[in-house]
Structure 1
């Protein structure tokens, strides 16, 4: 590729970890600090922690040596072999990875697909995403899609006359649920939810309804009725949690599951009650969903807790993941799409 370095590649012997970027949100809470150890401000609701982001203005910065202080784009451009085969021609990191604290309700919203984002925003930035629930209060709800038979005309009418809830599909989430939300899908969540999220690298969100809520300045938040309606895919089928599929290499002490196999990413979940070792050269991002442990990697050891996010570039590496408490160590693994 033009402009890529020609000197011999250097390979990491330990994953790259980035500084968390915290965002106040009217619907947020304090769980990102209380449950995940994020450094929250003294007061106010915080809704998001961006763990890995290639987006301009919110780009991730490495916090561990020897890459401390380097931007994600610098690592991406400077080490093309780290991208692996699937992502070798991409100009930026392929995902935006977050934690969400939805103590109150997210707006009822939709993210555009490639064509809609180009048409409405002037740039092709589609946003397909997936949520994995780490904790859910009994009051928590996820809204995703519409009840069977709902049409675009009925939806627009109910949006105008205040009866939208009558056509929405909702369910009570539980810890461990994974919800896959392709671009163009109507969705919201709230009522006490802590979730991990992987998405395409886009921040385009069109709010259709905000529960008649006011922002901290006492004003309603902006809605995007026309763009949102244009971005919705029809029919809007009900969306429920995915059904996990067991991996063939699971054991009773290290249970692996396939959660999502989509055009932009794959998701696996591993639940460990004893140590598990892997020798691999695959591109992957790991998140600690719950539990405590140690990561042993190339002669080094790193403590692990819920909230950790680690990028393993595509390079030969050996790892051992060790639970260190009486609870299982639950890990999410994000992988490139199958080809």
Structure 2
């Protein structure tokens, strides 16, 4: 029953939705007919600018066309400028304040703007990433958007490179790294400014069937989502350690070797579907964070983290798979100093399901020698004997509904046979791999290992006794009512996320307390989320579905629904603790 295409109902009819190039061309042609004007099409990096330009040229017959790609500095000059920010590390760059205008040649920009100013008749089309930096004034502003999961698909397929780079044939990992630290950050700075004013939005995720809605329709959809429970669109990815639990439970296609990850609530990466009658328009979920940070996050969270969604839920499937890489997450001071990041990836493993012999590696054994462990890790990385993780790392039995807490600096990984609901802070690429069990990635290449960085972050005093007392099943009863009980399951005091589990056969009262809530139905087939004031329509969720309740919702309630009526259900809720 897991819904792989959840959407936010915005309107019962399609209204001004235009599906396919024929409808889009006709609408823009009618809008601009007989006018002398500038049509500005701002494009997110990865959008097929060539295709859109071709279609709009046919529709509008512009007298002047300026493609921002022609205004970029040379790839060599751009590489020279950004290489210090990307660093030589295969995975990590440095967060920065680069803007799209920094990719442009100032002389070419000046010439293009003069060309625009001297245009005396007909339509001028300015198109590409950074188009609004060139067209200071425009009659129509279109934003061509694209979800990051689709950008990654195109990168892996060798269809696209990075902004201003001649790197289509570069490895997907390097293209992703460059997009993460440069392209997307720069483009998001433009997007944040434009969302309140764009006239039209292009959904370009499906190149065969693009869709266009008005800016007002998009803003109505975002406003709707910010005031009710909703789900983002999950996406699934294979991995060298992946399993088959999700494939079976979620009825996924069998066209990949396994499914290792599901990004079930990562608004920076997931997309959001808006429903207009039978039309579904897909936009990046981060647009909602940018457009309604206070309503979604709450003023406290917005003030503390800015327009970022600080909580991440995802799945890690190792059932019939292998161990995750042995790893550690960097400490807060380290990520600030080395990556320019405000906070690190504290996390936890909640066991959604587990095979009988499932285990979690967490913390170190009592009598280990740190120097010997590091030497053995390095020797294994250099082609020597495999690293003996069982000699150095504590291993714990893992059962369904166990909760393992993993503050930064703690050596850990999920073992085979587990279906993990990973609850963490959002900086999700900052994993320092120590050992990957001697295997290759799905691309046939070794996965990056970070022993030197790991050494600087491992907390060597987090040994078995401390782990057992502080990080394994720290479950405590905190409340109950008719047909429900509430437990605190973590996270550790070093982490800023609080988690609460509710077991229920009746109706459970909840309140956002002016901060965003993220929940997953970890037990039971189906539950329903209801407003206490009727401010949103009842919202049905199914087993293993993650859903977001915006801060603006306030009070709400959850109870069993459909096949779960009369049976026990459970949700796991996460929110940011007040400082």
TM range (shorter): 0.7 to 0.9
After TM superposition, the structure 1 = structure 2 runs for residues 328-339 of structure 1, keeping only pairs within 5 Å, are: 328-339=568-579
For residues 179 and 185 of structure 1, what CA distance do their matches in structure 2 show? 11
For 2:489, the equivalent position in structure 1 comes to: 259
- In the TM superposition, residue 42 of structure 1 has moved relative to its aligned partner by 2.6
2:475 is equivalent to residue 244 of structure 1: yes
For 2:309, the equivalent position in structure 1 comes to: 93
| Secondary structure of the structure 1 residue equivalent to 2:456 | helix
- In the TM superposition, residue 332 of structure 1 has moved relative to its aligned partner by 0.7
- In the TM superposition, residue 139 of structure 1 has moved relative to its aligned partner by 2.2
Contact 2:311/2:518 (<8 A) preserved: no
Higher relative contact order (CA 8 A, sep 6+): 1
| Secondary structure of the structure 2 residue equivalent to 1:247 | strand
- In the TM superposition, residue 72 of structure 1 has moved relative to its aligned partner by 2.8
The size of the alignment, in residue pairs, is 331
For 1:231, the equivalent position in structure 2 comes to: 457
Q: Deviations over 1:294-314 (max 9, x none)?
A: 314246334322221111111
2:505 is equivalent to residue 273 of structure 1: yes
For residues 337 and 431 of structure 2, what CA distance do their matches in structure 1 show? 14
Structure-2 change in CA distance of 1:236 and 1:296 (3 Å): closer
For residues 217 and 43 of structure 1, what CA distance do their matches in structure 2 show? 13
- For structure 1, the 5+ residue unaligned runs are none
Structure-2 change in CA distance of 1:141 and 1:65 (3 Å): same
Structure-2 change in CA distance of 1:157 and 1:80 (3 Å): closer
For residues 139 and 29 of structure 1, what CA distance do their matches in structure 2 show? 15
| Secondary structure of the structure 2 residue equivalent to 1:27 | coil
**Equivalent of 1:20 in 230, 234, 238:** 234
For residues 269 and 116 of structure 1, what CA distance do their matches in structure 2 show? 32
For residues 86 and 95 of structure 1, what CA distance do their matches in structure 2 show? 14
For 1:290, the equivalent position in structure 2 comes to: 523
Structure-2 change in CA distance of 1:38 and 1:185 (3 Å): farther
Structure-2 change in CA distance of 1:54 and 1:118 (3 Å): farther
Structure-2 change in CA distance of 1:279 and 1:333 (3 Å): closer
For residues 286 and 65 of structure 1, what CA distance do their matches in structure 2 show? 23
Structure-2 change in CA distance of 1:85 and 1:217 (3 Å): closer
Structure-2 change in CA distance of 1:278 and 1:129 (3 Å): closer
Of 180-189 and 215-224, deviating more is 215-224
Which structure shows the bigger proportion of residues in helix conformation?
A: 2
For residues 511 and 423 of structure 2, what CA distance do their matches in structure 1 show? 24
After TM superposition, the structure 1 = structure 2 runs for residues 31-50 of structure 1, keeping only pairs within 5 Å, are: 31-35=245-249, 37=250, 39-50=252-263
Of 142-151 and 289-298, deviating more is 289-298
Structure number, greater radius of gyration: 2
RMSD in angstroms over aligned alpha carbons?
2.8
For residues 280 and 204 of structure 1, what CA distance do their matches in structure 2 show? 29
Contact 1:143/1:168 (<8 A) preserved: yes
| Secondary structure of the structure 1 residue equivalent to 2:344 | coil
For residues 496 and 364 of structure 2, what CA distance do their matches in structure 1 show? 24
Of 158-167 and 43-52, deviating more is 158-167
2:536 is equivalent to residue 322 of structure 1: no
For 2:205, the equivalent position in structure 1 comes to: none
**Equivalent of 2:400 in 162, 175, 197:** 175
Contact 2:229/2:539 (<8 A) preserved: no
Contact 1:151/1:235 (<8 A) preserved: no
**Equivalent of 1:139 in 357, 370, 375:** 357
After TM superposition, the score normalised by the length of structure 1 is 0.87
- In the TM superposition, residue 25 of structure 1 has moved relative to its aligned partner by 0.8
- For structure 2, the 5+ residue unaligned runs are 1-191, 197-218, 380-384
Structure-2 change in CA distance of 1:195 and 1:252 (3 Å): farther
Contact 2:520/2:571 (<8 A) preserved: yes
After TM superposition, the score normalised by the length of structure 2 is 0.53
Which structure shows the bigger proportion of residues in strand conformation?
A: 1
- In the TM superposition, residue 281 of structure 1 has moved relative to its aligned partner by 5.0
After TM superposition, the structure 1 = structure 2 runs for residues 97-116 of structure 1, keeping only pairs within 5 Å, are: 97-102=313-318, 103-116=321-334
- In the TM superposition, residue 38 of structure 1 has moved relative to its aligned partner by 6.0
